[in-house]
Chains A and B, each alone.
Chain A
Amino acid sequence: MVTLEDYNSTVPNAWCPGCANFGILQALKKALVELEIEPHRLLFVSGIGQGPKLPHYTRGNVFNGLHGRTLPVATGARIANHELTVIGIDGDGGAYGEGVGHLLASMRRNVNITYLVHNNQVYGLTKGQASPTSDTGFVTRTTPLGAGQPLNPVMLALASDAGFIARGFAGDIDHLSDIIKAGIVHKGFSLIDILQPCVSFNPKNTYQWYRERVYHLADEPEYNPEDKRAALVKAEEWGDRIPIGVIFRRERPVYEEQLPALKEMPLVRQELDPQKFEGLLSEFM
C-alpha cells in the first residue's frame, strides 16, 4: 500500500513561505497515493522555475532538465520505457514561453505524459517579470508599458487537439488532486493548467482574486467535456468567472501504442544483439 509517507522528501524546501506550490505539491501527492503509484514507478521531468523544483520535494525518479525542454525529455523517457508513469512539471514561462513549440508538438504527438503547468502569470525565479500569461497591462521591470496580449493555454490546447485539457486552482487542493488523477489515468497527453497565486511577485492575481472568480465545471450538469464547441466557449471565459475542472477530453491514438518496436516489451528491456542485423547487411549486397 502506498502512503503519503512514501512521497515525503527530506530535501530542504526553497520556496517562499505561503507559496502556492505547496498546495500543488499536496494535491499531487494525494493523487499519487490514491492511485497507488509507488514512487519508483514514477518519473518526474521538470524544467527551470520555482514550480519545476517540485520533484526534489517529493519522491520519484527525477530528471530536472533545462528551461522549456521538459516535454522532449519526458517523451524520450516514456518511449524508452512505457511502463513508467511520466509527469512533466513546468511553470508558465517554461511551458508557454521558452518551450511552447514542444508543447504544441507534444499535444499533437500524444505521448502518455501528464503535464502540470504551475501558471502564476509571472516569472518568480528571476524575480517578477511578465510571463506569457500575464494579464494585459501587467507592469513589470521588463514590461514598463504593461504586458501585451496574454496567451490562452486552454484555447491553444483545443486548437492542437490535445486529448485532455484541464484547469485547476492551487487554492482548491481536493479539486486539483482529482483532476491530476484524471490526467494521469487518461491515456495520452494531458495538459493541466494550474492557476497559482504568487505571493511575492504577482500582487494582482491573489488567492482572494481567484477565490472570487473560480467555479467548478462539474457543478454545471449540462457541461459535456467531450463537446469541443462547448469547450471553446469555456476557454474564452476569463474575468469575472473562471471555470476550473476538466474542460475537454477525447480519446485519441496514443503515440507509443502505435510503435511496432514496443509491442512485445519496453525498449529498455530488449536484448542488444548485433547478430540480428545480418539481414540488413544483405540488403546492401
Chain B
Amino acid sequence: MALDFNVMVGGEAGQGVQSVGSILSKTIARGGLHVFADQDYESRVRGGHNFFRIRISEGKVLSVSEELDVLIALNEETVHLHLPEVKEDGVIIYDDEQIALDPEDERYLGVPLTRLAEETGKSKLMTNTVAVGAALGITGFDISALETILKEEFSHRGNEIVQGNIAASGAGFEFTSNKGNGNFWKRLRPLADAPRRMLLNGNEALALGALAAGCKFIAGYPMTPATLILEYFADKGRDYGAVAVHVEDEISAINMAIGAAFSGVRAMTATSGGGFSLMVEGLSLAGMTETPVVIVLGQRPGPATGLPTRTEQGELAYVLNAGHGEFPRAVLAPATAEEAFQAATKAFNPAEKYQTPVIILSDHHLATSYTTVDKFDLKDVIIDRGELLTEEAAKEMTDYKRHLITDSGISPRSYPLQGKALIVTDSDEHDENGHMIEDAGTRIEQSLKRLRKLDGLKKEINAPEIDIQPDATFTLIGWGSTGNAIKEAAALLEEREVAVGTIHFSELYPFPAESVISDLREAKKCVVVEGNATAQLAQLIRRETGIEVSDTILRFDGRPITAAYIIERLKVKVW
C-alpha cells in the first residue's frame, strides 16, 4: 500500500501549534514527500483548542484524512479529543513531566519536551522544536532536513537561536529514536532525487498568482480567511512594484480597486462573505462603469459572523446574484493551490477583456491548507489585456468614447493620461461618451451592450473536469475545494470495486452548460457534494440545464468535506 502517513499537532491557541505544524510540513516537503496540511482553530488568540493536521505521501495528496499515525499533544485536552482518531499502531507524543496521564496502551509515548528544551536549547520556548524532533525521531526521518529548515526559519534571529533550536530538535529526535509503540512500523524516509517543490496555502497561491498576472494594486480590510492575501501583497509589493492599501472598510476596498483599475492598472480586493456584502454596491458600480476588477471571496460559514475560523461553501448563489441591476460577471472556484494560482493569473484576463468584475470563490479550507506543488511555471502566465489601446493608438486618438457600442459589447479601453483623450464614465446610465442620460433608447442600447459581453465571457470559462464511468453506481459532482475529497472518495471506492464517476467545476459562471449537459444526462445517479445546507450547485445546475440531480451530500458544520465523510454518507443515503 502506498504511503499515507498522518500527523496531528494539537494544543491551545498561543502554544505554537501552527509553528510546529509548519516546520514539520516544511521538513517533510524538503525531503521530497508530498504534504497536505489543514488547520483547525477557534476565533481566539489564547486558549481553546487548535490543531494542525498533516497528511504525508509519496504521491500527490489533496485532502485530509481523519486517522492519525502520530499525535503530538501539546496539552492534555488534545489527547482526550483526538484519541479516537489515533490508529491502533499509532503514537501519541506528549510531555509526561507536564501532563499527568495514565497511559492506557502502547500508543502513549511520554517525552520530556519542556525539560529537554531547557537543557539543550536553554529555553522553554524551544519545547515545540523538541516536539518536531521527537516526531521525526519516531519515524526515523532524516534530521538533517530539519536542521536546514531551522536555519532558514531562525537565521534572522541570530546564530544562538538557530543553534539552540538545532540542539533542541536533536534532543527530541534522539529521545524517541527506536522508542515507542512496538506495533509502530511506519517509517518516513526522504525520497532521493525528488524535485524541490513549493509548499504553500491557497491564500499564498492566490496572492502570488495575482502578482504574477501584473496586479499592481490591492485594497482590503482584514477578514478571516482572506487576510493573508492583503498581508502578502503588502510585504512583497515593496520590492515587486505593487501597492496594498489597508482601508477603512470593504466599501472603500472595492471602490479603491475600481479607481485604480479606471486609472489603468490591474486591481483587486480580497475578503470574506461579510466584507463582500459591503462590496456589493461597488460590484454593481464595476458592472455599470465597465471597470475590470477581481474580487477574492474566501468563504466561511455564515450567516452574519457565523463560524469565523471555519469553512463552508455557502456563497455560490450569493455571488451569482449579488449586485443591484443586471451586468455580466464571471465566477471562478479553484480546488487546489495550483488552481488558485491559475485562477488568480487568469481572472484579470476576462476582467480586462470584458471590462467587468470577476469573482474568485475560495474558502477557509483552501485558503489555509498547505500543500506541496510542483514549482509554478511563470511561462504559463498569459497576460491578455483585451482591447486596451496601445500606447501609440492612445497618443493619436482624439475622439474617444469610453462606452462605444460594438457588436461584442466591448468598447476599446483607454485610461486617463494614456493619451490626450478624455475618459468619462458614470454610475448613472450614460451615453457612449460616458455622460449621464435619461432617454430610453440610449438606456436600452447601453444595457444590451453590457449584457452582450456575456457571450464572449462564456467562451472564457473552462469545462468541468469530467470522469464519466459507463458502469458507475453513481456520479459525484462538486465545485471548489471539495473537488479533491470527491476524487479521493471515487478512488477509494474503486479499490472496493465500486465504480464512481466524477464531475468537478473549477469555473462556475457563466455556467459551462454546453460542455456538461450531455454528460449530466447520461451520468448514473448524480450526487452533488457541497459544503452548504441548500445544495447551491444543484440549484445552479437545474437553473442552467433543467436537470435535477438525484441526491446531495452536504456539510455545513464548518468542517471540510473529506473522502471518508463522502463514503459514509453514500452508504447511508444512496448505496
Of A97-105, A136-144, A204-212, the one touching chain B = A97-105
Residues of B within 8 A of A77 (CB): 259-260, 262-263, 416
Check A66/B260 contact, CB under 8 A, given A76-B255, A81-B417: no
A59 adjacent to B378 (CB under 8 Å): no
Question: Quick check: is B212 within 8 A (CB to CB) of the other chain?
Answer: yes
B427 adjacent to A66 (CB under 8 Å): yes
From B245, B416, B427, contact of A79 by CB (8 A) = B245
Question: Quick check: is B524 within 8 A (CB to CB) of the other chain?
Answer: no
B257 adjacent to A76 (CB under 8 Å): yes
From A48, A56, A79, A83, contact of B243 by CB (8 A) = A79
Question: Quick check: is A1 within 8 A (CB to CB) of the other chain?
Answer: no
Residues of B within 8 A of A224 (CB): none
Residues of A within 8 A of B471 (CB): none
Give the Cβ gap from A10 to chain B, nearest Cβ, in Å: 10
Size range of the interface on B? 35 or more
Question: Quick check: is B241 within 8 A (CB to CB) of the other chain?
Answer: yes
Q: How far is the CA of A96 from the CA of B352 in the complex (A)?
A: 34
Q: How far is the CA of A79 from the CA of B475 in the complex (A)?
A: 50
A272 adjacent to B383 (CB under 8 Å): yes
From A64, A72, A278, A284, contact of B426 by CB (8 A) = A64
Question: Quick check: is A148 within 8 A (CB to CB) of the other chain?
Answer: no
Check A274/B383 contact, CB under 8 A, given A62-B422, A76-B217: yes
Question: Quick check: is B17 within 8 A (CB to CB) of the other chain?
Answer: no
Residues of A within 8 A of B389 (CB): none
Binary interface encoding of chain A residues 110-134 relative to chain B, with 1 for a CB under 8 A from any of its CBs, else 0: 0000000000000000000000000
A84 adjacent to B255 (CB under 8 Å): no
Question: Quick check: is A69 within 8 A (CB to CB) of the other chain?
Answer: yes
B214 adjacent to A261 (CB under 8 Å): no
Instruction: Mark out the residues of chain A between 251 and 285 whose CB falls within 8 Å of any chain B CB in the assembled complex.
Output: 259-262, 267-268, 270, 272-278, 280-281, 284-285
Of B88-96, B281-289, B309-317, B478-486, the one touching chain A = B281-289
A280 adjacent to B256 (CB under 8 Å): no
Which of B199, B260, B420, B422 has the most chain A CB within a 10 Å cutoff?
B260
Smallest Cβ-Cβ distance to B215: which chain A residue: A272
Question: Quick check: is B553 within 8 A (CB to CB) of the other chain?
Answer: no
Question: Quick check: is A145 within 8 A (CB to CB) of the other chain?
Answer: no
Smallest Cβ-Cβ distance to A43: which chain B residue: B416
Give the Cβ gap from A109 to chain B, nearest Cβ, in Å: 8
Q: Is the interface of B mostly helix, strand, loop or mixed?
A: mixed
A75 adjacent to B417 (CB under 8 Å): no
Question: Quick check: is B55 within 8 A (CB to CB) of the other chain?
Answer: no
Residues of A within 8 A of B264 (CB): 80-81, 268
Of B246-254, B446-454, B538-546, the one touching chain A = B246-254
Residues of A within 8 A of B157 (CB): none
Question: Quick check: is A45 within 8 A (CB to CB) of the other chain?
Answer: yes
Binary interface encoding of chain B residues 192-215 relative to chain A, with 1 for a CB under 8 A from any of its CBs, else 0: 000011111000100010011110
Q: Using a Cβ cutoff of 8 Å, how many contacts connect chains A and B?
A: 201
A63 adjacent to B198 (CB under 8 Å): no
Q: How far is the CA of A157 from the CA of B497 in the complex (A)?
A: 72
A72 adjacent to B251 (CB under 8 Å): yes
Question: Quick check: is A146 within 8 A (CB to CB) of the other chain?
Answer: no
Residues of A within 8 A of B492 (CB): none
Q: Is the interface of A mostly helix, strand, loop or mixed?
A: helix
Instruction: Mark out the residues of chain A between 52 and 89 whose CB falls within 8 Å of any chain B CB in the assembled complex.
Output: 53, 55-56, 59-66, 69, 71-81, 83-84
Check A284/B428 contact, CB under 8 A, given A65-B289, A76-B263, A267-B243: no
Smallest Cβ-Cβ distance to A259: which chain B residue: B243
Residues of A within 8 A of B219 (CB): 72, 76
A268 adjacent to B415 (CB under 8 Å): yes
Check A80/B204 contact, CB under 8 A, given A66-B255, A261-B216: no
Residues of A within 8 A of B421 (CB): 40
Residues of A within 8 A of B281 (CB): 66, 69
Of B73-81, B102-110, B232-240, B565-573, the one touching chain A = B232-240
B238 adjacent to A261 (CB under 8 Å): yes
Check A285/B196 contact, CB under 8 A, given A76-B258, A102-B252: yes
Q: How far is the CA of A69 from the CA of B282 in the complex (A)?
A: 9
Question: Quick check: is B266 within 8 A (CB to CB) of the other chain?
Answer: yes
Question: Quick check: is B434 within 8 A (CB to CB) of the other chain?
Answer: yes
B262 adjacent to A281 (CB under 8 Å): no
Q: How far is the CA of A285 from the CA of B376 in the complex (A)?
A: 11
Which of B248, B257, B379 has the most chain A CB within a 10 Å cutoff?
B248
Give the Cβ gap from B272 to chain A, nearest Cβ, in Å: 19
Question: Quick check: is B242 within 8 A (CB to CB) of the other chain?
Answer: yes
Question: Quick check: is A11 within 8 A (CB to CB) of the other chain?
Answer: yes
Q: How far is the CA of A75 from the CA of B256 in the complex (A)?
A: 6
Residues of A within 8 A of B424 (CB): 55-56, 61-62
Question: Quick check: is A213 within 8 A (CB to CB) of the other chain?
Answer: no
Q: How far is the CA of A101 from the CA of B345 in the complex (A)?
A: 33
Give the Cβ gap from A84 to chain B, nearest Cβ, in Å: 6
Residues of B within 8 A of A75 (CB): 245, 252, 256, 259
B375 adjacent to A64 (CB under 8 Å): no
Question: Quick check: is B423 within 8 A (CB to CB) of the other chain?
Answer: yes
B257 adjacent to A284 (CB under 8 Å): no
B199 adjacent to A73 (CB under 8 Å): no
Smallest Cβ-Cβ distance to A53: which chain B residue: B436
Give the Cβ gap from A284 to chain B, nearest Cβ, in Å: 4
Q: How far is the CA of A247 from the CA of B415 in the complex (A)?
A: 35
B197 adjacent to A274 (CB under 8 Å): no
Question: Quick check: is B120 within 8 A (CB to CB) of the other chain?
Answer: no
Instruction: Mark out the residues of chain A between 1 and 16 whose CB falls within 8 Å of any chain B CB in the assembled complex.
Output: 11
Give the Cβ gap from A267 to chain B, nearest Cβ, in Å: 5
Instruction: Mark out the residues of chain B between 264 and 321 whose CB falls within 8 Å of any chain A CB in the assembled complex.
Output: 264-267, 281-282, 285, 289
A61 adjacent to B416 (CB under 8 Å): yes
Residues of A within 8 A of B420 (CB): 38, 40
Residues of A within 8 A of B114 (CB): none
Which of B254, B258, B381, B419 has the most chain A CB within a 10 Å cutoff?
B258
Residues of A within 8 A of B217 (CB): 76, 79-80, 267
Q: How far is the CA of A7 from the CA of B345 in the complex (A)?
A: 41
Question: Could you list 4 further interchain pairs (A-B, Cβ under 8 angstroms) beyond the known A41-B417, A69-B281, A80-B267?
Answer: A61-B422, A77-B263, A284-B204, A285-B198
A-B CB contact pairs (8 Å), 13 listed? A38-B420, A39-B422, A40-B420, A56-B424, A62-B423, A62-B434, A69-B282, A72-B256, A76-B257, A84-B417, A267-B243, A270-B216, A277-B240
Task: Sort A-B residue pairs by CB-CB distance and give the 6 closest, nearest first.
Answer: A76-B259, A272-B214, A80-B263, A72-B255, A73-B259, A76-B260
B residues touching A (Cβ–Cβ < 8 Å)? Answer: 196-200, 204, 208, 211-214, 216-217, 219, 236-243, 245, 247-249, 251-267, 281-282, 285, 289, 345, 375-376, 378-379, 381, 383, 415-417, 419-428, 434-436
